[in-house]
Structure 1
Amino acid sequence: MKVSDLGEFGLIEHLKAKFSLAEVGDDTACVELADLKILLTCDTLLEGRHFLPFYPISTVGWKAVSATVSDIIANGGKPLYLLVSLLLPDVELKKVDELYEGMTKACEFYGTKIVGGNVVKAEKLGLDLFAVGQAERFVGRSSAKAGDGVFVSGTLGDSLAGLELLLMERKNYEDFELRLIERHLRPTARIDYLRHISKYANASMDISDGLASDIRHMAKRSGLRFNIFKEKLPLSKELYEFAKKHGKDPYAYALKGGEDYQLLFTHPPERMNPFLDMSQIGYVQEGEGVFVDNKPLEEYGFDHFRS
């Protein structure tokens, strides 16, 4: 049997069972030191897999930091420190400077800092980031409650549309297309939700592999049934324009599109905050599985060994 036969998430379940890794399963690992809840996580971006050689290199740095701190934020923590392991071909020094400029700007935005790391020569450029954060209350993906509303932040599907536009490698793009491309290249982790998640959410995770994939993980870990409604999925006007121009279904992008780094979370419906750009897309009840408009959710989403 090969890893691809299991897939990314099947591999994780295999390792958890075989090596008694019971704590594994959330976006971050929460460890207690004295009276502190410390959140630990890591993330990797590899050229050809997560970004392409023609991407502006500073945006790769920004995205690497955003993707990593997003996990800390999703579990109710404030990102504090980063370690960066750099896989580096023999490139011009200017390229390395621009990469770190992107990471530094992101660190300034999120209030975190790079405190060390490692460098190794490699055939392709890659970044592996390890992050440390601190939480007053850890909010994982396994603690949704029956009766909760299911919420997401922002809009969904924009990053996938931006990626498809980039892959067209056109010389000219319309303004709405450039905004979608920007959302793919420079996503923003939702640090503005940190207080809300920490105070009110029962379960929370970020949307990195696509809503369809991530909500399935939350439902399975919580042992409950999640019901969502297609017309409740928040779509940007730019995604509507993209879908109209290219003959696409925008709701399919909202369900399967990864790397939006929005938040998926549950709490009682009355905790909805009108000052945040959250949308209630469904509810949680006793049972199991995920349903869209009362039909079982199709199996799709990003998997490293099957995508």
Structure 2
Amino acid sequence: MSREQPAVAMEPERRASTLKGIAFALGAYFFFATSDALMKAVVGAYSTFQLIPMQVAFAIIPVMAMVLRDGGFRLPRNGNLGLVALRGALSGLGAIFGLYAFRHLPLADVYALAFCAPLLVTVMAIPILGEKVGARRWAAATVGFVGVLVMVRPGFQELSLGHGAALLTAFSGAATLLIMRHLRGIESASTMASAVMLGLLAVSLPVVPFVWRAPALADVGALALSGLLMGSAQFLMLRALSHASAAAVAPMQYTMMVWGVLYGMFVFGNPLNVWVVAGCAIVMASSLYTMHRERKLGIARRAAEQAQPRP
């Protein structure tokens, strides 16, 4: 009996740690959504390529605090530099597509389409990672596609470049997820966050001299707060993953839809679109099931590897 007591005692601690991780994740996604709302408020007045470096100038403050807390900046390990750089570049491209979508669509619509990323990972993992996808995950991906059709309703509403930009944001997010899956446990979170900042600057700074216009003081304040929130959200996500598993943290991203709806209604005056909400619910359910299946397959894969006799 005495041998079992430590394990029993650890269970409440593990549960408390998971709840703490979820709380950090909820805070992070609230910060992300608020940062996006601030960017949407100013995106109509300036070029996307000007807004990104102005936001990064403030986001880098909490990111540098994260780097120092993590023991200082570390270069990617041998062989990973290309993937880390690609992750940064994809973040930059995703920001360009996302800001364009924010310019033309309500926040909730952009989030709903961007939530397709986990489903796209399922499809993209076949040619890129050589994964085998079973019937259940294919069914989940198909249901998710139906959810997208419910949201955009082709033939019933005019599709715009904003919808296309939102979907491209989802593709860049899916590619980023695949890279993160490959580098999980190899590169530090501070290294990956630094790559994001550098990627954002790399895709925007070369264009800034051609599109720059003097910003209003209030807009500088909005961009400063947006950057600080975005950088702080990166730090909160690091804290979340130090307390809870990725499987527990990942579903919290869908709370951004709630914030997107609320900001859209009460800040930007967007009416509640029931089709978008319904389609997003289908996509969310499909994505959550996909995450659940990947988690179960991951556990089974690790168990099989541990069961193999070592040479």
TM-score normalised by structure 1 residue count: 0.29
Q: Which has the higher strand share?
A: 1
Larger radius of gyration: 2
| Greater relative contact order structure (CA < 8 Å, 6+ sep) | 2
| TM-score (norm: length of structure 2) | 0.29
